[in-house]
């Protein structure tokens, strides 16, 4: 159970701070929800408290773990199939895993592919989403701002 003020990561939306815990009645059932404010885009996400584990919600990485993720990015070897459909599905599974190394693998692979052949609209959107997921957590872990973290990430991807 998390509490107000905790920094947590949602696998599909990124990291944020729990602003409140509210009870809402949805489809006739009253459930408790974490109200998560994601700093990137100032988005609010409501997460049912009783399904956090199943969704993959977790505490954010500490600063050392975040540094370790960034340090590993240059060594990541993306393995992306040529088949667009399969590549898209595999990348979605990596993102949904909530593992930031897998999210980094998606980002690196899509950035490389963009340089080589360009990206489809769907893959360009996936790249933006994956980057937002990674950067949002690194921003909170480093207690930094989006632009600085994004610059560090871009340098690691170059």
Q: Domains in the chain, please, with CATH?
A: 7-59 (2.40.10.170), 63-157 (1.20.58.1290)
pLDDT single digits (tens) 18-43 = 999 999 998 898 999 999 999 877 88
Tell me the DSSP string of 46-95: EEEGGGHHHHT-EEPPPHHHHHHHHHHGGG------S-HHHHHHHHHHHH
Averaged pLDDT of the chain: 92
Q: How confident is the model at residue 60 (pLDDT cuts 50, 70, 90)?
A: very high
SS3 12: coil
Per DSSP, 82 falls in state S
């Amino acid at each position: 159970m998390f509490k107000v003020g905790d920094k947590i990561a949602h696998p599909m939306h990124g990291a944020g701070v729990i602003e409140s815990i509210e009870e809402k009645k949805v489809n006739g059932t009253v459930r408790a929800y974490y109200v998560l404010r994601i700093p990137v885009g100032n988005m609010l996400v409501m997460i049912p408290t009783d399904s956090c584990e199943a969704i993959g919600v977790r505490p954010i990485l500490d600063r050392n773990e975040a540094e370790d993720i960034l340090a590993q990015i240059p060594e990541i070897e993306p393995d992306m199939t040529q088949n667009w459909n399969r590549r898209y599905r595999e990348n979605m599974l990596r993102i949904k895993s909530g593992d930031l190394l897998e999210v980094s693998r998606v980002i690196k692979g899509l950035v490389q592919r963009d340089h080589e052949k360009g990206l489809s609209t769907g893959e360009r959107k996936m790249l933006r989403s994956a980057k937002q997921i990674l950067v949002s957590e690194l921003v909170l872990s480093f207690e930094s701002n989006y632009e600085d973290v994004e610059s560090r990430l871009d340098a690691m991807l170059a």
